[in-house]
Structure 1
Amino acid sequence: MRDSKFRGKKINYGEWIYGVPVFDGDKAWIVKRIGDNFSADEVHPESVGQYTGLKDKNGEEIYGGHLVARVRSVRTGTTRRRVGRTYNEYAVTSEILVVGEVRFGTPEKYPMDGAVSWYVYTDQSTSYPSYFWGDGKASDKPYHATNNLSEFLDPKCSYEIVGSIHDNPELLQPQGGSQE
């Protein structure tokens, strides 16, 4: 069984503290034990995040609200090759840096799954041409498929903590837009 750990950002000093959260209305505190005594510090309620049970590639614990980054190989295009009397469509992939916020819940990308889990939310997406198939023939005119890059938090992936949604929201702003 893993430990339930939490953190929150102190109201007075803006530093991150770790312990057990206590909520009362619109206020929150992080309580920590020091020997036989307890200490409670008021924190911004929206900053309280739970430990995911995973660490980033540098050994740092990943909490809800962290911003993580990883390089992903994603589909960014399509190529067609004629094979006999038909065409085959092949994916063109590129490696891009994806930055997202660690959240808990059901990702908007997978609403029908109903799965509740840790995931990485991002507005980043790729758009690429694809071709409709009908009666074994490919269309001559491509349509643009779009793929949002949000994903479930995968323990096999090499994430790196790059900040916090509370300290660095600008890191979620698109860097030059989506890959098109």
Structure 2
Amino acid sequence: MKDRFLFKAKRIDNGEWIIGFLTFHKTGKAFIKPIFGDARSSEEVDPSTICQCTGLKDKNGNLIWENDILFLKDEINGCKWKAVVEFGNPTGEYNWGWQLVQVTECEANKDILLWIETGTSYVDVKIIGNTIDNPELLEGGE
């Protein structure tokens, strides 16, 4: 299975992150069936914390998720910036399903996330947190 089909969210019972397959009950409650473990079990999750996986990885090999806050460094022009991963791409030139919303100013290519996988972006990308657990990282500065 491809990573881009995975979701993660915080469990209702203990607030821990869980990764797996997202389902919704007819009552509207959201559940995630873990990738490992009992195939018949699923955990109720907080819908406000649901994040879809992009299928891409940062420079440390960590999967990049919707709502992740990234620190990016452009190796060519030395530009350093922070951005949030969002679903959709209304402001980008290409429509690949994901976009970066800049948190700090820099003359950066907003479509750079799309090229991370190819290794031709010349940009180091590192996950530094997410908007759910670390909203303070959305403030300016490096």
Q: TM-score, normalised by structure 2?
A: 0.76
Alignment RMSD (CA, Å)? 2.7
Higher share of residues assigned strand: 1
**Does 2:132 correspond to 1:166?**
yes
Which of 108, 111, 121 is the aligned partner of 1:151?
111
Aligned residues: 133
The alpha-carbon deviation at position 6 of structure 1 amounts to 1.3
**Does 2:5 correspond to 1:2?**
no
Residue ranges of structure 2 left out of the alignment (5+ in a row): none
Q: Which residue of 1 aligns with 2:37?
A: 34
Q: What's the % identity of the aligned pairs?
A: 32
Cα pair distance change 1:96/1:13, threshold 3 Å = farther
Residue ranges of structure 1 left out of the alignment (5+ in a row): 75-92, 127-146
User: In the alignment, residue 54 of structure 1 is paired with which amino acid?
Assistant: L
- Could you tell which deviates more after superposition, 8-17 or 159-168? 8-17
Cα pair distance change 1:123/1:26, threshold 3 Å = farther
Larger Rg: 1
Distance 2:104 2:75 in 1: 14
Distance 1:149 1:65 in 2: 19
Q: Which residue of 1 aligns with 2:63?
A: 61
The alpha-carbon deviation at position 34 of structure 1 amounts to 2.2
Distance 2:51 2:37 in 1: 21
Superposed CA offset, 1:79-108 (max 9, x none): xxxxxxxxxxxxxx6x34211111121143
